[in-house]
């Protein structure tokens, strides 16, 4: 027997589809939305729709932005000769939280994983190679310490080394099998400072 009627169940089901949201959290969110004033709900729905319509990839680093360039790429105070390669936007955010990295980023949107059918052409590698035509001195590979992350790091290293650009890998302060987004700022900072050349 259903505890709630159709519309409430539909709302709970939609919230439950979000990553990290279980049934109890979905129910709590749905009931919160229902108890909000109508104009707040309309504004919330409008913000989601506008975000979906206006947010796209930065034309340089492929993070999300509503401008042509993201704030990091547009900042002339950043070191544009150093590019840190990360698997996803959450990893970029984790490194930005340290407040110590002065370069720019490149978001791959995944990692090479033959088991999942993800090859080099399925992530933003061609775009990274194109960026090397500019004045780039160092590429820091900051992929996760998983099998996929290591495979991607080795592939990028072999791809870039012939160009003469320095290629480094973040140090092993990041635990093997750990996701960057879950690691504290100090560990990330130590991994960045202790990076090694590949």
pLDDT digits (tens, 9 = 90+) for 24-75: 999 999 999 999 999 999 999 999 999 999 999 999 999 999 999 999 999 9
Residue 1 has pLDDT above 70, yes or no: no
- Give per-residue pLDDT as tens, 71-85: 999 999 999 999 999
Question: Can you list the domains of the chain with their CATH numbers?
Answer: 6-54 (1.10.8.420), 64-197 (3.40.1360.10)
Q: Which residues of 47-61 are buried (b: 16+ CB within 10 A; e: fewer)?
A: eeeeeeeeeebbebb
Q: Mean pLDDT throughout 9-33? A: 93
Angle between helix axes 23-35 and 6-16 (nearest 10 degrees) is 130
Mean pLDDT of 153-178: 83
pTM of the model: 0.78
């Amino acid at each position: 027997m259903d505890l709630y009627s159709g519309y409430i169940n539909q709302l709970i089901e939609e919230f439950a589809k979000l990553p990290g949201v279980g049934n109890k959290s979905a129910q709590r969110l749905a009931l919160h939305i229902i108890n909000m004033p109508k104009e707040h709900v309309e504004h919330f729905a409008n913000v989601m729709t506008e975000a979906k319509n206006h947010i796209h990839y930065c034309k340089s680093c492929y993070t999300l932005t509503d401008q042509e360039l993201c704030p990091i790429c547009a900042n002339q105070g950043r070191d544009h000769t150093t590019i840190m390669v990360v698997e996803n936007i959450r990893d970029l955010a984790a490194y930005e939280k340290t407040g110590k990295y002065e370069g720019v980023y490149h978001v791959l949107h995944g990692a090479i994983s033959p088991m999942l059918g993800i090859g080099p052409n399925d992530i933003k590698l061609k775009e990274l190679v194109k960026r090397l035509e500019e004045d780039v001195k160092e590429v820091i590979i900051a992929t996760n310490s998983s099998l996929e992350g290591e495979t991607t790091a080795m592939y990028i290293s072999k791809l870039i080394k012939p160009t003469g650009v320095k290629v480094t890998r973040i140090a092993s302060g990041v635990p093997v099998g750990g996701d960057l987004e879950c690691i504290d700022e100090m560990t990330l900072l130590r991994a960045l400072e202790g990076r090694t050349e590949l």
